[in-house]
Amino acid sequence: MRQTVPSLALLLAACAKPAAPSSPPPSRVRYVTVQEQAVALTSQLPGRTSPYETSQIRPQVNGLVEARLFTEGDIVRKGQALYRIDAAPYLAQVANARAALARARASIASSAALARRYGELVKINAISKQDYENASTTSAQAQADVATQVAALKTAQIDLARTTIRAPITGRIGRSIYTTGALVTASQTDPLATIQRLDPIYVDFQQSSSDLLKLRQQILAGQIARDGNAHVKLLLEDESAYGPLGTLRFADVTVDPTTGSQVIRALFPNPHGLLLPGMYVRAQLGEGVQKKAMLVSQRAVGRDERGNPTVMVVGAGNKTEPRTLQTTRIIGDSWLVTAGVKPGDRVIIEGGTTLRPGMSVVPTRWDPNAKPEQAAPGGQAPASAK
C-alpha cells in the first residue's frame, strides 16, 4: 500500500491536460489617413551653363599687331578698342584714294564744259552729231569715275578703321591667343580672343522625350494643370541652391535619336558672375499642379517578393489588409500613388513591420511630432501608454 499511492499520483499527473496558452494582445500601430490634395510636380534635370552671347574676335585686315589694349579676364564694353594693327599701309591707301577722287573731280569739270559747248554748236550744225555724242559720253564717264573714286575712298577708310579692333559686344574677355608683333590676316581661322556675355546666362538641360510626352498627355487629359509659372530653380555642384530664379525659354522641337531626349533652355540672371560657362548644375523644373494627388510616406511602404511597393492598411474590424501600390515618383519623403489605396484608407506607418494580413491591431493616428513608442514584449502596450 505504501508503493501504490505514489504510482497513482504519477498516473494522474500524466493524464492531466496542459493548460492552453493565452493569445497575445493586439499590436498597437499608428496610421495616417490617405487624402487627396493638390501637389506641385517638379522634375530635377542635369544641365550645363552656356553664355548668353559669344563673340570670337578676328581681324578683318592684314597686318602686324602693334598693341593689345585690354587686360585678360576683364569686362570689356561694346565698342572698346582691343587691338591695334599697323595702320601705315592703310593710311597710304586712303591718301591714294583721295588723290584719285580729286583727279576724277577735276576731269569732270572740263568734260562737262565741252559737252555744253558741243551742244550749242550741234544746233547750228557747226559740228557733227557724232562729236557731240562723244563729248556727252566722256562727261558721263567722268561723273561715273567720281562715284567710283568716292566708293574707293570709303573702302580705304573702312580698312583703316579696322586696324583698331573693337569689342562687338559687352562681356568678359578671355586670354589673348596672339601677342604684340604677331602677323594676323583677315578672316583667319584662329580668333585673337573670345568675349562671352555671362549676365544673363543660359542653362541647357535634357529631359526624356517619353517623360515630356507623358506630361503632355496628362495635361491634355486634365490630370495636371499648368499654372503658367515658368520659373526654374537651380542647384549648384556643391548641392547649394542658386538664389535667383530662372525663366523657361523653350524646348527643342527635335528629339535626339541617340539619347531620346530633348534640350530645354532656361535663362538665369547672373549679376555677380557666380555661374561660369560649362558648369554642371541641376535644374528643378515646375511641370504643373496635380489637383487630386495621393501621397503615401516612404516609411509606410515595403516591398513584396516581386519588388512591388506594398502597404498595410487598417481595414474593417481593425484588421490588417495588404495593398499593392502603383507609384509614379517621389515627392519629398512620400510616394505619389495612382492606385492601390483610396481617400480615407488608414495606412499603417509605425508598428507594421511584423504584421501579417488579418491580424487585429489597436490603431492610433500618427503624430509627426510625437516620439515613436517602443513595443513591449509580447505585444503589450508600454507603461507610458496605459
The whole-number pLDDT of residue 381 equals 42
Q: What whole-number distance in Å separates Cα of residue 77 and Cα of residue 55?
A: 12
Render pLDDT for 149-161 as a digit per residue (tens, 0 to 9). Answer: 899 999 999 999 9
User: Is-contact 64 214, C-beta < 8 A?
Assistant: no
Residue 379: which pLDDT band, with cuts at 50, 70 and 90?
A: very low
Residue 172: which pLDDT band, with cuts at 50, 70 and 90?
A: very high
Fold agreement between 27-37+293-374 and 87-161: no
Q: Which superfamily, per CATH, for 41-52+202-291?
A: Efflux pump adaptor protein, beta barrel domain (2.40.30.170)
The whole-number pLDDT of residue 69 equals 93
Give the pTM: 0.65
Instruction: Mark 159-194 as b/e (b = at least 16 C-beta within 10 Å).
Output: bbebbebbbebbbbbeebebeeeeebeeeeeebbbb
Specify the DSSP class assigned to residue 120.
H
pLDDT surpassing 60 at residue 320: yes
pLDDT surpassing 50 at residue 308: yes
The whole-number pLDDT of residue 368 equals 74
The whole-number pLDDT of residue 166 equals 95
Cα distances from 132 to residues 106, 107, 124, 136, 144, in angstroms, run 21, 17, 12, 6, 19
Task: Find the helix or strand (DSSP H, E) in which 292 lies.
Answer: strand 280-297
The whole-number pLDDT of residue 227 equals 56
Cell of 112: 562737262
pLDDT surpassing 50 at residue 68: yes
Q: What whole-number distance in Å separates Cα of residue 86 and Cα of residue 164?
A: 9
The whole-number pLDDT of residue 377 equals 41
The whole-number pLDDT of residue 44 equals 81
Render pLDDT for 72-120 as a digit per residue (tens, 0 to 9). Answer: 999 999 999 999 999 999 999 999 999 988 888 887 766 766 666 666 6
Domain positions in the chain are 27-37+293-374, 41-52+202-291, 60-86+163-190, 87-161
User: Is-contact 344 33, C-beta < 8 A?
Assistant: yes
Cell of 95: 591718301
Phi, psi torsion values for 104, nearest 5 degrees: -65, -40
Q: Which residue has the higher pLDDT, 207 or 229?
A: 207
Render pLDDT for 185-211 as a digit per residue (tens, 0 to 9). Answer: 998 899 999 999 999 999 998 877 777
Q: Tell me which fold the domain 87-161 belongs to.
A: Helix Hairpins (1.10.287)
Maximum average pLDDT range among 191-200, 239-248, 318-327, 358-367: 191-200
Q: What whole-number distance in Å separates Cα of residue 286 and Cα of residue 53?
A: 26
CATH number of 60-86+163-190: 2.40.50.100
CATH number of 27-37+293-374: 2.40.420.20
Residue 219: which pLDDT band, with cuts at 50, 70 and 90?
A: low
* Cα three-residue angle 237-238-243, rounded to 5 degrees: 85
Residue 104 burial by Cβ neighbours in a 10 Å radius (0-12, 13-18, 19+)? buried
